[in-house]
Chains A and B, each alone.
Chain A
Amino acid sequence: MTRILLMGNPNVGKSALFSRLTGVQAIVSNYPGTTINYTRGYMKLGEETAEVIDVPGTYTLEPTSEAEEIALRLLDSGDIVINVANAINLERNLYLTLQLLERGIPMVVALNLWDDTRHRGVDIDLEKLRGLLGVPVIPTVALTGEGVKELVENVPRAISPHRPPGTRDQRWANIGKIIEQVQRISHRHHTWRERLADASVNQVSGGLIALAALASSFFVIRFIGEGLINYVLDPLFNNLWAPVILKLSQLLGGGGFLHDIVVGKIAGGEINFLQSFGLLTSGLYVPLGVVLPYIVAFYLVLGILEDTGYLPRLAVLMDTILHRLGLHGYTIIPNLLGLGCNVPAILATRILESKRERFIAATLISIAVPCAALQAMIFGLVGARGLEYVAIVYGTLFAVWIILGIILNHTVKGFSPELLIEIPPYRLPPWRAVLQKLWLRTYSFLAEAIPIILGAILAVNILYILGVFNAIANFTAPVVTGLLGLPKEAVTALVIGFLRKDVALGMLAPLALTSGQLVVGSVVLAMLFPCVATFVVMLRELGVVNMLKAVGIMIVAALVTGGILNLIL
Chain B
Amino acid sequence: MHRFGGRFKDNKPEADPVTLAQLKSGQSGTVVDIQGGHRMTDRLNALGIIPGKKITKASAMLMRGPVTIEVDRVEVAIGFGMASKVMVRPDRVP
Contacts and interface: CB of A to CB of B under 8 A. Distances in A.
A364 to B, nearest CB: 20
B77 interface: yes
Interface string A95-129: 10000000000000000000000001010000000
B65 A92 contact: no
B73 A89 contact: yes
B44 interface: yes
B59 A418 contact: no
A1 interface: no
A198 B69 CA distance: 10
A203 interface: yes
Nearest to B83: A418
Contacts of A422: 47, 74-76
Given A197-B75, A319-B65, A59 B47 contact: yes
Given A319-B66, A421-B77, A201 B47 contact: no
B44, B59, B62, B75 pick with most chain A CB within 10 angstroms: B75
A546 interface: no
Nearest to B58: A198
Contacts of A425: 75
Interface in A399-458: 417-423, 425
B59 to A, nearest CB: 5
Interface in B49-87: 50, 58-59, 61-66, 68, 72-82
Contact of A320 (B46, B62, B78): B62
Given A203-B62, A316-B66, A64 B77 contact: no
A541 interface: no
Interface size class of B (residues with CB under 8 A): 20 to 34
B47, B59, B63, B77 pick with most chain A CB within 10 angstroms: B77
A420 B77 contact: yes
A557 to B, nearest CB: 28
A64 B39 contact: yes
B74 A89 contact: yes
Contacts of B35: none
B42 interface: yes
A198 B58 CA distance: 7
A425 B73 CA distance: 9
A366 interface: no
Given A89-B72, A92-B72, A315-B77, A203 B48 contact: no
B45 interface: yes
Q: Is the interface of B mostly helix, strand, loop or mixed?
A: mixed
B42 A312 contact: no
Interface residues of A, number: 36
B77 A88 contact: no
Contacts of A203: 59, 61-62, 65
B2 interface: no
Interface string A162-196: 00000010001000000000000100000000000
Contacts of B68: 201, 316, 423
Nearest to A92: B48
B43 interface: yes
B23 to A, nearest CB: 15
Nearest to B47: A422
A373 B31 CA distance: 49
B32 to A, nearest CB: 15
Contacts of A64: 39, 42-43
Contacts of A95: 45-46
B74 A312 contact: no
A60 B50 CA distance: 14
Interface in A307-354: 312, 315-317, 319-320, 328-329
A122 B73 contact: yes
A91 interface: yes
A150 interface: no
Interface in A192-234: 197-198, 201-203, 206
6 contacts: A64-B42, A89-B73, A185-B73, A201-B58, A320-B61, A420-B79
Given A88-B73, A201-B61, A418-B79, 4 more contacts: A64-B39, A202-B59, A319-B61, A328-B79
Q: Which 5 A-B pairs have the closest CB atoms?
A: A418-B79, A59-B46, A423-B75, A92-B48, A320-B65
Interface of A: 59-60, 62, 64, 88-89, 91-92, 95, 120, 122, 168, 172, 185, 197-198, 201-203, 206, 312, 315-317, 319-320, 328-329, 417-423, 425
